[in-house]
């Protein structure tokens, strides 16, 4: 029996959260080692585990994988969440890249000043409702299927649900004008593996707090200010 994947990151969302989501969606149990000190990070660097000197890093199938996109692609392909042919994979890639762009606006939100957070909150909601959500609303309406690609559950569905929930944390009624996405959210959230991940006590991480921000800044020596878009 192969070892469980092991995730090396902070005890918080960041770039690792989508990896946690995808593993959970595939029904894969995983272990985590949380970075809390600079010494832990330096040990990984000096040991050659971080190819590009950065986390996330995931130990899986005898590999020490870095680069979030590479890790996610591998997991999606390994657990049959990446479409049945090249065309479906291309669609999944397009949709994932779109949601990834949207989630990128949220990634650095915890590191902003209070004033910049209000500006960024409005920016996130505006982009979600004018550029990104309309795309997925139209896709679902046009093909009339339960999932984004090939009428099969895929990485694209997982990523979109994650993005929806992240934006809802900034504006709870953000889906009010998107009936297809409302139904999609309910449908994907009811899939047993996803439903389990959304329950309290799972390895899903909460909204980043001040402790998370302080830990990341200390470990990575982030002494610069982060600005809103």
What is the set of domains in the chain, with CATH numbers?
6-79+198-220 (3.40.30.10), 86-190 (1.20.1050.10)
At residue 224, the pLDDT reads: 67
Query: Could you report the per-residue pLDDT of 197-226, keeping only the tens digit for each?
Result: 999 999 999 999 999 999 999 999 987 667
**Which stretches in the chain have pLDDT values below 70?**
1-2, 224-225
Cα–Cα dist 38/129, whole Å: 39
What are the CA-CA distances from residue 77 to residues 19, 44, 81, 82, 86 (Å)? Answer: 13, 27, 6, 5, 12
DSSP β-ladder status, 31-34 and 6-9: parallel
Contact 19, 75 (CB under 8 A): yes
Residue carrying the six token digits 């009811």: 190
- pLDDT recorded at residue 223: 73
Distance CA 172, CA 49 (A): 40
Q: What is the pLDDT of residue 2?
A: 64
Tell me the C-alpha distance between 139 and 145, whole Å. Answer: 9
**Are the C-beta atoms of 132 and 160 separated by less than 8 Å?**
no
- Name the token pair of 9: 């990151």
């Amino acid at each position: 029996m192969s070892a469980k994947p092991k995730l090396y990151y902070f005890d918080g969302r960041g770039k690792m959260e989508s990896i946690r989501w995808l593993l959970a969606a595939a029904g894969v149990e995983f272990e985590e080692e949380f970075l809390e000190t600079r010494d832990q990070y330096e040990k990984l660097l000096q040991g050659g585990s971080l190819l590009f000197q950065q986390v996330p890093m995931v130990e899986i199938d005898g590999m020490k994988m870095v680069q979030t996109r590479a890790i996610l692609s591998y997991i999606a392909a390994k657990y049959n969440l990446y479409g049945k042919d090249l065309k479906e994979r291309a669609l999944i890639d397009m949709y994932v890249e779109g949601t990834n762009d949207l989630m990128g606006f949220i990634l650095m939100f915890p590191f902003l000043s209070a004033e910049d957070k209000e500006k960024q909150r409005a920016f996130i909601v505006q982009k979600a409702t004018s550029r990104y959500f309309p795309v997925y609303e139209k896709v679902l309406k046009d093909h009339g299927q339960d999932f984004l690609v090939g009428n099969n559950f895929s990485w694209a569905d997982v990523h979109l649900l994650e993005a929806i929930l992240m934006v809802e944390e900034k504006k709870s009624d953000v889906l009010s004008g998107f009936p297809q996405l409302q139904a999609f959210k309910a449908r994907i959230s009811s899939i047993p593996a996803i439903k389990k991940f959304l329950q309290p006590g799972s390895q899903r991480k909460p909204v980043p707090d001040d402790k998370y921000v302080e830990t990341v800044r200390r470990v990575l020596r982030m002494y610069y200010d982060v600005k809103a878009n």
